[in-house]
Chain A
Amino acid sequence: MQGPVAVARSPLDQPPARLATEITSITILGGRGKLGDPEPIRRIDLQMGQVISVVGPTGSGKTTLINDLELFADGTTPTGRRILTDGEVPPAEYRDDPSRHPIALITQHTTFLSDLPVREFITTHAQIRQNDASRIQATLAATLVFANELTGEPIPPDSRMTELSGGQARALMIADATIVCETPIVLLDEVENAGIHRTRALELLRAHRKIFIFVTHDPRIALLSDHRIVMQNGSMTHLLETDEQEREVSLRVNQLDDRLASLRDRLRSGQRLTVREVDGWT
């Protein structure tokens, strides 16, 4: 490039940031709601290893909160929120260098557009995320094992990405974000509708020490989380810790949910249902 330069130059010219994987906490500093009113919750600290749900009616600002996190909002987004990592303003490198960005995001609109075979696609991604070429095959294998745990239908490594079912695609996205990305923070925006094993997903995710943030309408996921952030009118209004009673409720919700799931499976496989199946449910 020639001539005067208008912009501060490459991130490579700057001293290296801390590795993203060393992050141990993120902090959300409250901003304002849709009407410009200060948010009731002024500060939330999320620790590595926690699973958090964001709950609230449609239009209450859940996805906006996720966007703030993903962009490391610095007070300039419409909500005025600020996001800190380890209590400090995150370094600019997190935004500028793809291999350092510490957040993986999966949204309800997210799809795979690539028509590469699964094997090649995951390998391509692993190559840009990981410097150690000798680990790429192991990463590919681990990603597929993880994804297959989440979906009822195993993913053929040689099928094209665009041929995957909704459930397979969603399972692969979660597996990819968890294993290939190596990001310490994973945001999942309403991923529950895609036919994945949610309880198994949460068990598996907990085995990886990360911060998982679910935007969800699903009681099962909400109650399996450590905390839930309640949204209303664009504001974070409550921060609730899942208590003893709710853990009890959670078990019962899982049972109910499993029963519904078994009815769903029977309908899917073309069976008829009788009143006997739901005896004693209400």
Chain B
Amino acid sequence: MRLAICAGPSTTGKTAVLRHLIADLLQKGTPPAFLKIDVQYAEEDEILAAEFGIPTRKVYSGELCPDHCNVMVLGDALHWARKAGCEVLLVETAGLCLRCSPYVDGGLGIVVLEATSGMNLPRKVGPMLTLADVAVVTKIDRVSQAEREVFRARIQDAAPRVRIREMDALHGIGIAALAGHIETTAETPDKLLLRGNPPVGTCTICVGRKEIGWQSHFGVVRALENATFYRGE
């Protein structure tokens, strides 16, 4: 079993990229299974199942963050994909808070970014980009050559080791290079580990405290004029 996890902000074209990837994998005789992890709404699983007849599933993370949910379900999902007779599992996840990333050691990490989201985006998305193996840049025909080049250079600044693949995701132009990365991905190891360190923090807001102001909270907190500090036991 080989694993590729695809992350990226909403509407960047993750599904469009994966659609072409699925078509390519099918053509090569390695049908993939597809898992979508989203917070509260997704229909990509139904669309891709209808389009390609491959096994698909979705999980709503609900109260959990999608990357947290990914950690919970990924082991089961690999088992499911194997039982469904697939050799590749593609996971599409909506990484949201930019503090961690869903990639695991031994799997391929793909981040999808759109060139139209501004030249500073590569500096903002954190480990979702810096821990990826491949950064797919979509909507390249929409921005000026200058912005596209600055975007690429800033990806390389933020993540010097990531491979950049520019794609016209609507038409699948440039997909072959990405498909090549899946082919060279090793078999998934038995023990899976998150590639990055999760953020440090006990979130008092997640457990229900609604008061504004750090004085009402504990754990890792911060004030406007301070870096983060620890408050409490």
Contacts and interface: CB of A to CB of B under 8 A. Distances in A.
Q: Bound pair: A and B?
A: yes
A9 B144 contact: no
Contacts, number: 115
B141 A109 contact: yes
A7 B181 contact: yes
B147 A114 contact: yes
Contacts of A124: 119, 150
B164 interface: yes
B160 interface: yes
A6 B186 contact: yes
A111 interface: yes
Chain B interface SS verdict (over half)? mixed
A148 to B, nearest CB: 17
A34 to B, nearest CB: 13
A4 B186 contact: yes
A125 interface: yes
Interface string B131-172: 101100000011111110110110010001101111010011
B173 interface: yes
Given A8-B184, A125-B150, A181-B149, A113 B143 contact: yes
Contacts of B109: 6
B30 interface: no
B126 to A, nearest CB: 14
Chain A interface SS verdict (over half)? loop
Nearest to B173: A67
A7 B133 contact: yes
A106 interface: yes
Interface residues of B, number: 44
Contacts of A7: 108, 133-134, 163, 181, 184-185
Contacts of A3: 105-106, 193, 195
Contacts of B161: 1, 9-10
B107 interface: yes
Interface residues of A, number: 44
Contacts of B119: 114, 124
A111 B144 CA distance: 6
Contacts of A9: 161
A95 B176 CA distance: 13
A76 B168 contact: no
Contacts of B176: 74, 76-77
Given A6-B106, A109-B142, A71 B173 contact: yes
Contacts of B149: 98, 101, 125, 128-129, 181
Contacts of B134: 7
B9 to A, nearest CB: 16
22 contacts: A1-B161, A3-B195, A4-B105, A6-B109, A6-B133, A6-B181, A7-B181, A10-B161, A71-B166, A96-B164, A101-B149, A110-B142, A111-B142, A112-B143, A113-B147, A122-B146, A124-B119, A124-B150, A128-B149, A176-B144, A181-B145, A181-B146
Interface of A: 1-10, 12, 67, 71, 74, 76-78, 95-99, 101, 104-107, 109-114, 121-122, 124-125, 128-129, 173, 176-177, 180-181
